[in-house]
């Protein structure tokens, strides 16, 4: 065998070893972090949205009109918005472990306290406090994942975390509906049992976070030295090749024009997301007239479809390296779904179209949340992610309130659905404009091994090409 052939074989062997190291490291990180973060977000969403199932009985007991109910569920988003950016800045400085634990314990206590509501004012106040308690959780985790997963794997990592949104619907809706059947036990209404029982796991999980979550790659005892070195080098390469500027001051990050342009389509589409979330059980009940339990099962089945959409969008976005167009496709599906829910003549058609709107939003979320970290890094990225989420969550007030207002004033939700369809379509068009930004016009892909043999960065996980 010639010396050249021997050298080539050695290079291939080194590349194969590095590929094995990359796979083993990312698998270890995924197994260690993603199941825990998934469970945290699942209960976050159960506690945030179980009011939709509770409304089937609670609205009568508290004498809530459609508009009053919509105001109460929406005011959660205003509390969330007020404290979103400060919360994420604190997380970036004190670490995710302690701050996420604080968030979870406080939101679990407030969620359980909703069992004591007696008047609409109590409802408004506790929903506002729930938003304050939860502020920073989602953008904090998105920022946290960007510190652990290289850019080409980030959409799939985010999708495996935020798939908790539809799974919370698939599990939480039937569970919440079954808890309504406890009506009268120990003199408590079923919806009070619902809030009590579903708030407790969040508190317990908050204490678990203190033990199970690791702040930084360098501090992970569950990775070997070689794995830590490879992942640190890979993330550093991502940073070196990124177009995101270094050392951007916090105030400048919050005034970055493209960050604000990102926030606008998120606001427009988030309105549709929360319109579905808080009104789905009532829309299903009013169109199909099932029992409470069957209503919960139907909403759960729709959520299973949303989970499939989320995984498909995330995987294909990573495979192609294209983020904006995938987000546009999700927004367009949301617009089409709301238009169908408004205009189709049959109850089943309206419910299916309403479901399609939720599938579009969940498909939109995964590629969209890969975009902010393409612009900024470090504390600036944490603040920018929080700002986008804050502005978007104003849509969490607007969307549900539009539907409640339409039902009270116009006798139905057709007008609100058409407005939400138009908003989602405008969001899709805005993303097409944003895609012209040079950072978003570039695609991330996994390429063939390069670099010096034996170098942990020989597997170029962060290499980019023009789209």
Instruction: Please give the mean pLDDT across all residues of the chain.
Output: 82
Q: In the chain, pLDDT over 70 holds for what percent of residues? A: 84
Give me the pLDDT at residue 379, please. 64
Give me the pLDDT at residue 375, please. 65
Burial of 348 (0-12, 13-18, 19+ CB in 10 A): exposed
Question: Average pLDDT, stretch 223-230?
Answer: 91
Nearest Cα neighbor of 323 from 155, 99, 92, 111 is 155
For 203-219, the pLDDT digits (tens) are 999 999 998 999 888 88
Residue 343 has pLDDT above 90, yes or no: yes
End-to-end CA distance of the chain: 42
Give me the pLDDT at residue 252, please. 65
In order of 66, 272, 331, 349, the CA distances from 423 in angstroms are 22, 8, 9, 21
* Whole-angstrom distance, CA of residue 77 vs CA of residue 66: 18
* Whole-angstrom distance, CA of residue 301 vs CA of residue 171: 9
Residue 61 has pLDDT above 70, yes or no: yes
Q: Is the dihedral of CA 267, 272, 275, 276 positive or negative?
A: negative
What secondary structure does DSSP assign to 3-25, as a single string? Answer: HHHHHHHHHHHHHHHHHHHHHHH
What secondary structure does DSSP assign to 63-116, as a single string? Answer: T--HHHHHHHHHHHHHHHHHHHHHHHHHHHHH-HHHHHHHHHHHHHHHHHHGGG
Give me the pLDDT at residue 447, please. 39
For 107-151, the pLDDT digits (tens) are 999 999 999 999 999 999 999 999 999 888 888 888 888 888 887
For 387-433, the pLDDT digits (tens) are 787 888 888 889 888 998 898 888 888 999 999 999 999 999 988 88
Q: In the chain, pLDDT over 90 holds for what percent of residues? A: 37
For 237-294, the pLDDT digits (tens) are 877 765 544 445 556 666 667 778 888 899 999 999 889 988 888 899 999 999 888 9
Question: Average pLDDT, stretch 311-321?
Answer: 83
Residue 160 has pLDDT above 90, yes or no: no
Nearest Cα neighbor of 178 from 291, 272, 276 is 291
175-199 burial, b if ≥16 CB within 10 A, otherwise e? bbbbbbebeeeeeebbbbbbbbbbb
Give me the pLDDT at residue 145, please. 87
What secondary structure does DSSP assign to 410-434, as a single string? Answer: HSSSHHHHHHHHHHHHHHHHHHHHH
Looking at domain 3-466, its CATH superfamily turns out to be: MFS general substrate transporter like domains (1.20.1250.20)
Q: Where are the domains of the chain?
A: 3-466
CA 105 vs. chain centroid, Å, equals 20
For 3-53, the pLDDT digits (tens) are 444 333 434 333 455 788 888 999 999 999 999 999 998 998 888 889 989
Question: Among all chains, which residue has been given the structure tokens 């309206």?
Answer: 350
Give me the pLDDT at residue 388, please. 82
Most confident region among 84-98, 188-202, 372-386 by mean pLDDT: 188-202
18-23, Cβ contacts within 8 angstroms, sequence gap of 24 or more: 18/230, 18/449, 18/454, 18/455, 18/456, 18/458, 18/459, 19/449, 19/459, 21/226, 21/227, 21/230, 21/456, 21/459, 22/230, 22/234, 22/459, 22/461
Give me the pLDDT at residue 251, please. 61
Residue 356 has pLDDT above 90, yes or no: yes
Question: Average pLDDT, stretch 100-105?
Answer: 94
């Amino acid at each position: 065998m010639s010396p050249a052939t021997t050298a080539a074989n050695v290079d291939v062997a080194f590349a194969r070893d590095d590929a094995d190291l990359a796979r083993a490291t990312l698998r270890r990180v995924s197994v260690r972090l993603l199941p825990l973060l998934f469970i945290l977000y699942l209960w976050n969403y159960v506690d945030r949205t179980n009011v939709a199932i509770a409304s089937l009985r609670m609205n009568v007991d508290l004498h809530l009109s459609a508009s009053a109910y919509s105001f109460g569920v929406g005011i959660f988003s205003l509390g969330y918005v007020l404290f979103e950016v400060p919360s994420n800045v604190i997380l970036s400085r004190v670490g995710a472990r302690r701050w996420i634990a604080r968030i979870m314990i406080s939101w679990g206590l407030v969620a359980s306290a909703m069992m004591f509501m007696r008047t609409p004012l109590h409802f408004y106040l506790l929903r506002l406090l729930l938003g304050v308690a939860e502020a920073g959780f989602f953008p904090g985790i998105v920022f946290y994942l960007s510190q652990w997963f290289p850019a080409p794997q980030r959409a799939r990592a985010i999708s495996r975390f935020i798939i908790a949104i539809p799974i919370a619907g698939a599990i939480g809706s039937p569970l919440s509906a079954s808890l309504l059947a406890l009506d009268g036990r120990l003199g408590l209404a079923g919806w009070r049992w619902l809030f009590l029982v579903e708030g407790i796991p969040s508190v317990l999980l908050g204490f678990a976070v203190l033990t199970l979550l690791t702040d930084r790659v360098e501090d992970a005892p569950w990775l070997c030295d070689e794995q830590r070195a490879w992942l640190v080098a890979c993330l550093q390469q991502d940073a070196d090749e990124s177009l995101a500027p270094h050392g951007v001051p916090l105030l400048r990050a919050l005034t970055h024009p493209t960050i604000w342009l990102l926030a606008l389509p998120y606001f427009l589409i988030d309105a549709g997301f929360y319109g579905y979330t808080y009104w789905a059980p009532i829309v299903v009940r009013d169109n199909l007239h099932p029992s409470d339990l069957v209503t919960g099962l139907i909403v759960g089945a729709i959520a299973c479809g949303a989970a499939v959409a989320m995984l498909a969008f995330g995987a294909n976005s990573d495979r192609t390296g294209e983020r904006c167009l995938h987000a546009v496709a999700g927004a367009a599906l949301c617009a089409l779904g709301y238009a169908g829910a408004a205009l189709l003549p049959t109850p089943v058609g309206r419910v299916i179209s309403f479901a399609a709107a939720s599938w579009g939003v969940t498909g939109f979320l995964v590629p969209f949340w890969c975009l902010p970290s393409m612009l900024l890094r470090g504390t600036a990225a944490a603040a920018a992610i929080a700002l986008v989420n804050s502005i978007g969550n104003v849509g969490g007030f607007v969307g549900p309130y539009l539907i409640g207002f339409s039902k009270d004033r116009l006798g139905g939700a057709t007008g609100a659905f058409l407005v939400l369809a138009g908003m989602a379509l405008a969001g899709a068009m805005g993303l097409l404009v944003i895609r012209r930004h040079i950072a978003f016009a570039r695609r991330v892909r996994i390429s063939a091994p390069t670099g010096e043999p034996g170098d942990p960065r020989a597997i170029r996980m962060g290499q980019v090409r023009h789209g």
